Amino acid sequence: MSEAALATAPAEFAPWKDSQATPLIRFQNVTKRFGDFTAIDNLTIDIYEREFFALLGPSGCGKTTMMRMLGGFETQTEGTILIDGQDVGPIPPNKRAVNMMFQSYALFPHLSVAENIAFGLKRDKLPKDQIAARVDEMLNLVQLGKFANRKPHQISGGQRQRVALARSLAKAPKLLLLDEPLGALDKKLRQDTQFELMDIQEQTGTTFVIVTHDQEEAMTVASRIAVMDHGKIIQVDTPAKIYEEPGSVYVADFIGDVNLIEGSVTTSGDDHATISWAEGQQNLIGIAHDEIPAGTRATLAIRPEKVNIATERPAEMTNIIHGKVLDIAYLGNMSTYVIETPTGQHIKAQAANTRRIARRAITWDQDVWLSFTDTAGVVLTS
Amino acid sequence: MKRFGLISVPYLWLLALFLVPFLIVLKISLSDTALAIPPYTPTLDLSQGWAGFTAWLSGLDMENFTWLTTDDLYWKAYLSSLKIATFSTILALLVGFPIAYGMSRAPDEWRPTLMMLIILPFWTSFLIRVYAWKAILSQEGLLNQLLMSLGIISEPLTILNTNTAVYIGIVYTYLPFMVLPIYSALERLDESLLEAAEDLGCSRLTAFWLVTLPLAKQGIIAGSFLVFIPAMGEFVIPSLLGGSKTLMIGKVLWEEFFSNRDWPVASAVAVVLLLILIVPIVLFQRNEEKQREAGK
């Protein structure tokens, strides 16, 4: 009985944890060189069906090249790429069950919105009424029914973005590639569109691979994020894992705001490590899943919002840092405090502004104590 | 007032350099030829006041235009010009489009050089370049010498003084006018549009038909008019490269004017030519306007 009840509960979507699941996309030791430049360096990764997979990294990290190889616009120098078990190396873009939404949207300026959406369907030589029905369906999906007969230059940027999405989804591809899909939109519209994208991905059940340099966007939409740098994937994980437990200083620094405190390891074990970092300050403890030999140089990465700030020394906290307020940045809903330790290091702490600004207890040059728990930070050796 | 002054500049320009000359030509076309200086009557004599003006007005008639319809030389020349201009335009398009396409696909660092190569011939006198073609196309010319030394032909080809030479001359001369507008249309074409077309199931060839060509359309139309309009009234090329059988209205006009010294008939020929060209000129303007609108 209880088993049946369990089955109806929504299962966590995590096919990458299931050893039985077959990935939709497999990159196997893929390398891509442009002349002397290595864009993708011996990369291996599996992406599963129905995933919303984000490739995140700074420009020039190889994320766009990876996507263009999936679309068929670039061919890898070495290695194999499998889509649905098929080696796609020799298959040209027009023969792949993959569609792409281009960064520039690449809408055909001489065709109307409806004709743009119908473009791919017409190439498949579908009967006319079927094309019309599918175009209508797509227009409804992106809520652009009223604009069917407009030309791309007669609609707004956000509407163009939706036309591009509708056009790339019209052929019901197994895999949709999105190249910086929201890059051209302003912040407010971008946030709304992110949720819309997630809804559409869920509705259509299509596998989405999105390329972005915007970490917030990747965090919002993706089921998994691959953080890339210099043609390599540094870490692949869920947004929460990437944020809470970055595997390296690079990832910690790339995603969100972080304090990086360098020191040397004194003790380690039992999922934790202690580092000594500055004279006159007590040692700090953070998470470390692997044992680190004592004396190793390591970095404690701690997010500012996990750091408490108080005017008096807290009694029951494992990690305590003493310092002076150097700077306060008022962000409306919260404030960021920059604290200078006696040894000259700067550490950021964030606190929600639950009180009116006039009643704030902490001000410039004040002596303060920062504190955080032993599971708030991670000790990283690379 | 300032705004009016600014707008009036182009209008004054057009008035002085287009409308006034046209009205003079129109007036001459309505006059009669005479052995005088200038070689036509009547001339306006303002010293006699209003009477002089009415006398001048009554001296004008449509005789020359009727004359144009009675001699079949004229309408044959118009038709022949139309034919030569049309075929030259098609030929220039067939030669010019691949050149423009190649230029637009060339690596960025090559483009200024290629552009220079297209424009460079303009730095030499047009007449010298047409004379150069005489040297290339004649019986003992460079082309025949080359073909014979290669063993492709045993007898020299007769190209000079035929319509073929006229086609070669017109296509050569007006090619840049075809290439440049098409190039500017193709250069603006975003590469990702072709990738999108391929992504949506087009082969390279269908992508060319469905995306490249429609987007180059405005350039093709502009280039075609820029070749067709001047080719229609072309005089130098047919008289230097064409033979006695090459009939073009520009040549007829020149002969009427300078050989026959019949200014009124020559002017009538010119007025009719202009009327014929007004249609494509208006179409051309409309195309330009459309392009400007689409570019917004």
User: What ipTM is given for this predicted complex?
Assistant: 0.81
- Residue A103, classed as helix, strand or coil, is coil
In this complex, the residue of A106, A124, A171 whose CB is nearest that of residue B196 is A106
pLDDT digits (tens, 9 = 90+) for A289-345: 888 888 889 999 999 999 988 888 888 778 889 999 999 988 888 889 999 998 888
**What is the average per-residue pLDDT within B97-117?**
94
Q: CB of B195 within 8 Å of any CB in chain A?
A: yes
Chain B residue numbers touching A109 (CB-CB < 8 A) = 215, 294
Strand ranges of the sheet holding A52-56, from the earlier edge strand across to the other edge: A98-101, A175-179, A207-212, A52-56, A224-229, A232-237
Q: Are A346 and A326 within 8 A, CB to CB?
A: yes
Res A357 pLDDT > 80: no
Q: With an 8 Å Cβ cutoff, are A120 and B200 in contact? A: yes
Nearest to A39 by CA among A92, A76, A81, A89: A76
Which of the two residues, B243 and A124, has the higher pLDDT score? A124
Res B246 pLDDT > 90: no
Res B209 pLDDT > 50: yes
Distance CA B248, CA B120 (A): 28
Alpha helices, DSSP H, located in B188-248:
191-199, 204-207, 213-232, 236-241
Query: In whole numbers, what is the pLDDT of chain B averaged over residues?
Result: 90
Q: With an 8 Å Cβ cutoff, are B200 and A94 in contact? A: yes
- Which pLDDT value is given to residue A11? 64
Q: Are B100 and B235 within 8 A, CB to CB?
A: no
- Which pLDDT value is given to residue A216? 87
**What is the average per-residue pLDDT within B23-43?**
87
Where residue A1 falls among pLDDT bands split at 50, 70, 90?
very low
Chain B residue numbers touching A124 (CB-CB < 8 A) = 201
**What is the average per-residue pLDDT within A186-191?**
84
**What is the average per-residue pLDDT within B89-110?**
95
Q: Which of B186, B189, B198, B200 is the best substitution to test chain A (most A C-beta atoms within 10 A)? A: B200
Q: Identify the DSSP state of B152.
A: S
Distance CA A45, CA B126 (A): 64
> Can you read off the two tokens belonging to residue A128?
């006319």
- Which pLDDT value is given to residue A7? 46
Res A48 pLDDT > 90: yes
Q: Which residues 6+ apart lie within 8 Å of A259 measured at CB?
A: A300, A301, A302, A303, A304, A307, A347, A348
Res A209 pLDDT > 90: yes
Res B123 pLDDT > 80: yes
Fill in the amino acid letter for A345: Q
**Nearest residue of chain B to residue A74 (CA atoms):** B195
Q: With an 8 Å Cβ cutoff, are B201 and A123 in contact? A: yes
Q: Which of B188, B190, B192, B199 is the best substitution to test chain A (most A C-beta atoms within 10 A)? A: B199
Which of A257-271, B30-44, B207-221 has the lowest average pLDDT?
A: B30-44
- Which pLDDT value is given to residue A38? 92
**What is the average per-residue pLDDT within B159-187?**
94
- Cα of first residue to Cα of last residue in chain A, in angstroms, is 49
Distance CA A17, CA A33 (A): 32
Q: CB of B290 within 8 Å of any CB in chain A?
A: no
Phi, psi of A87 (to 5 degrees): -70, 115
Distance from CA of A221 to the nearest CA of B (A): 24
Which H helix or E strand runs over A247? none
| Burial (CB count <10 Å: 0-12, 13-18, 19+), residue A256 | middle
Chain B residue numbers touching A99 (CB-CB < 8 A) = 199-200
Q: Around A33, how many Cα atoms within 13 Å sit in the side-chain half-sphere?
A: 8
Distance CA A89, CA A75 (A): 7
- Which pLDDT value is given to residue A300? 93
Res A121 pLDDT > 70: yes
> Can you read off the two tokens belonging to residue A167?
């056009």
Res B57 pLDDT > 90: no
Instruction: Give the number of A-B residue pairs with CB atoms closer than 8 Å.
Output: 59
Res B42 pLDDT > 90: no
Q: CB of B211 within 8 Å of any CB in chain A?
A: yes
Fill in the amino acid letter for B204: R
Query: In whole numbers, what is the pLDDT of chain A averaged over residues?
Result: 89
Could you give the C-alpha distances from A4 to A12, A322, B107, B185, in angstroms and in order?
16, 55, 64, 65
Q: With an 8 Å Cβ cutoff, are A106 and B192 in contact? A: yes
- Which pLDDT value is given to residue A378? 92
Q: CB of B192 within 8 Å of any CB in chain A?
A: yes
- Which pLDDT value is given to residue B94? 97
A377: left (phi over 0), alpha (psi -120 to 50) or beta: beta
A224-229 and A52-56 as β-strands: parallel, antiparallel, unpaired?
A: parallel
> Which DSSP string do the residues of A201-236 spell out, in sequence order?
HHHHT-EEEEEES-HHHHHHH-SEEEEEETTEEEEE
Phi, psi of A253 (to 5 degrees): -75, -35
Res A5 pLDDT > 60: no
Distance CA A284, CA A260 (A): 12
- Which pLDDT value is given to residue A4? 46
Q: What percent of chain A has pLDDT over 90?
A: 59
> Can you read off the two tokens belonging to residue A34?
């442009």
- Which pLDDT value is given to residue B41? 83
- Which pLDDT value is given to residue A3? 46
Phi, psi of B257 (to 5 degrees): -75, -50
Q: How far is CA A271 from the centre of its chain?
A: 26
Res B184 pLDDT > 60: yes
**What is the average per-residue pLDDT within A9-19?**
76
Chain B residue numbers touching A73 (CB-CB < 8 A) = 195
Q: How far is CA B247 from the centre of its chain?
A: 16
Q: With an 8 Å Cβ cutoff, are B198 and A108 in contact? A: no
Nearest to B118 by CA among B166, B184, B167: B184
| Burial (CB count <10 Å: 0-12, 13-18, 19+), residue A236 | buried
Nearest to B157 by CA among B180, B179, B130, B136: B136
Chain B residue numbers touching A92 (CB-CB < 8 A) = 198
Distance CA A142, CA A286 (A): 46
Q: CB of B294 within 8 Å of any CB in chain A?
A: yes
Phi, psi of B133 (to 5 degrees): -65, -30
- Which pLDDT value is given to residue B290? 81
Distance from CA of B203 to the nearest CA of A (A): 6
Chain A residue numbers touching B209 (CB-CB < 8 A) = none
> Which DSSP string do the residues of A153-191 spell out, in sequence order?
GGS-HHHHHHHHHHHHHTT--SEEEEESTTTTS-HHHHH
A175-179 and A207-212 as β-strands: parallel, antiparallel, unpaired?
A: parallel
Res A2 pLDDT > 50: no
- Which pLDDT value is given to residue A330? 86
Res B22 pLDDT > 80: yes
Distance from CA of A48 to the nearest CA of B (A): 22
- Residue B156, classed as helix, strand or coil, is coil
**What is the average per-residue pLDDT within A139-154?**
92
**Nearest residue of chain A to residue B218 (CA atoms):** A110
**What is the average per-residue pLDDT within B48-61?**
84
**What is the average per-residue pLDDT within A191-220?**
89
| Burial (CB count <10 Å: 0-12, 13-18, 19+), residue B12 | exposed
